[in-house]
Structure 1
Amino acid sequence: MNQPLHEAIRARLEADILAGIYKPGEKLPNETQLAAEWNCARMTVSRALGALAEAGMVQRRKRAGTFVARRTVQETVLDIRDVAAEVRASGREYAFRRLARREAGASADEAAALEVAEGAPILQVIGLHLADGGPHALEERLINLDAAPAAARERFEDQPPGAWLLDHVPWTEAEHGISALAADGQTAKRLGISTGSPLLCLERKTWASGACVTSARFLYPAGAQRFTARLRQPRG
């Protein structure tokens, strides 16, 4: 059974957005241009763009056009947080240091974390977020290269992968977990603390239109980080 044309258009635009061909905030070709490219009616294009808008990947603005969705930083405690913005907001100088980078086929545990088949292409990045030159947080991240293929071209030597993903791969779903644990020897050494010291652990997953893009873990020395949000009860 052939794929409906509007689905083919949606899938192609979604793939281009995930690959970074269209970046957050960038305007997509208009309906007339897309209809000419695909040799179809504007209504077909409109249906494809509507599906992308419903998934949160684009924003349609009357008379202005269709734009790749932007995501704001630190909207609430459970939103996608930019560690660099956190550090700079506290008046400290931010830097990132990559500790390890590995491209490989997913192990069983990595496949489970990213919801992919064992052996699927993944990128693992481990890095240290610094505040005024000292350790602020340790990041351990897995990226699904089928969902974010452009990440394979990035070295992430001094640019954190989370910030790159925010700029290049619009997410449609996110899941967070916060827990406490004790630092093992290697983690303690990287963070400059004693083995067994308490850590605040933030675990995060993001999806784009049903595909898991990344799974990350941030480890903060206890007492060094505070997550806050102010919520308003809707009137009714």
Structure 2
Amino acid sequence: MSLHQKILGEVEAHILSGDWPPGYRIPFEHELTEQYGCSRMTVNKALSELVKRGLIERRRKSGSYVTFPQVQSAVMEIHDVKLEVESLGLDYAYYRDARSVRRINAGDGGRIDLPTASRLIDITCRHFAGGRPFCFEERLISLSAVPEAEGEAFDAVAPGSWLLGKVPWSTAEHRIRAVAATRPAAQALDIAVGSPCLVIERRTWSGGAPVTSVRLTYPGDRHELVAEFQPSAIV
């Protein structure tokens, strides 16, 4: 076994065993060079292979870090972000940024189909995975459909989790887009303005009445969508 293969194997073992969890900074190249008594080129070759395998990422002027697993979401399901994070084996955290009760206005731009002067809750919040920003949520909730939401602060529970347990939905619509991070999204996700993001916009109805509209923004390198389907019957 060559020295570069030994370094590759031992670093990979630390990652796959969980000794070095997602977000862990692995030793700097010069530290590995001293540890293994080899050239920096040998260490760089091993680390480059780990980058190709998706196990580490290099951050300019900061070092190399164990990557976070890429989450997969089913396109045709309404999923709970908390369960999404926990399925990756990472600690989940939630933080509510803002909540207000207001009338619908022209700036809502068709996000939720409610009559003029309808009252709604406007809420923004963040979801974290392993201490790292995971998803930025912007949501509107119709108070005519869910009047009890007015008494919920959403300090301890995310609105999506709360709604799934409270309101049966009959119809949902998903829109999926690749976008450049806006300033609010970039600040919430701790990424640069203009970074590639995946946005899922979802509207739900119950018995024909609009319930909620949500925009979920994910860093583009940490999320993918999956759809399973079968061929239609041949007539």
Q: TM-score range by the shorter chain?
A: 0.5 to 0.7
**Structure 2 residue aligned with 1:47:** none
- Return the offset for 1:75: 9.1
Match of 1:131 among 106, 129, 132: 129
Q: Distance in 2 between matches of 1:198 and 1:75?
A: 18
The 4+ residue runs of structure 1 with deviation greater than 3 A are 232-236
Q: After superposition, what is the alpha-carbon deviation per residue over 1:154-203, rounded to whole angstroms, capped at 9, x for unaligned?
A: 11113110111111000000000100111122221111001110110000
Consecutive unaligned residues of structure 1, counting only runs of 5 or more, are: 1-73
Deviation per residue, 1:108-149 (Å, 9 max, x gap): 233732211222110011000110111000000000000011
CA distance in 2: counterparts of 1:111 and 1:212, whole angstroms: 15
Aligned with residue 215 of structure 1, among 213, 220, 223: 213
Q: Where does residue 158 of structure 1 map in the other structure?
A: 156
Cα drift, residue 235 of structure 1: 5.7
Q: Give yes or no for the alignment of 1:193 onto 2:187.
A: no
Q: Partner residue of 2:83?
A: 85
Contact map agreement 1:201 1:220 (CA 8 A) in 2 = yes
Aligned residue type for 2:107: D
Is the 8 Å Cα contact of residues 136 and 188 (structure 2) preserved in structure 1? Answer: yes
Query: Which residue pairs with 1:168 in the alignment?
Result: 166
Compare CA radii of gyration and give the structure with the larger one.
Answer: 2
Q: In structure 2, what is the Cα distance between the partners aligned to 1:120 and 1:171?
A: 20
Q: Write out aligned runs for 1:97-136 (5 A).
A: 97-110=95-108, 112-136=110-134
CA distance in 1, matches of 2:228, 2:73: 9
Contact 2:100 2:121 in 1 (8 A): yes
**AA partner of residue 121 (structure 1):** R
Separation in 1 of the partners of 2:166 and 2:190? 32
Matched, 1:147 2:130: no
Alignment partners' CA distance in 2, 1:82 and 1:148? 19
- The aligned runs of 1:57-96 (5 Å cut-off) are 76-96=74-94
Q: What is the total number of aligned residue pairs between the two structures?
A: 163
Query: In terms of mean alpha carbon deviation, does 103-112 or 154-163 score higher?
Result: 103-112
TM-score normalised according to structure 2 size: 0.66
Contact 2:73/2:224 (8 A) holds in 1: no
Amino acid in structure 1 at the alignment position of 2:225: F
Q: Does the aligned pair in 1 maintain the 2:175–2:202 contact within 8 Å?
A: yes
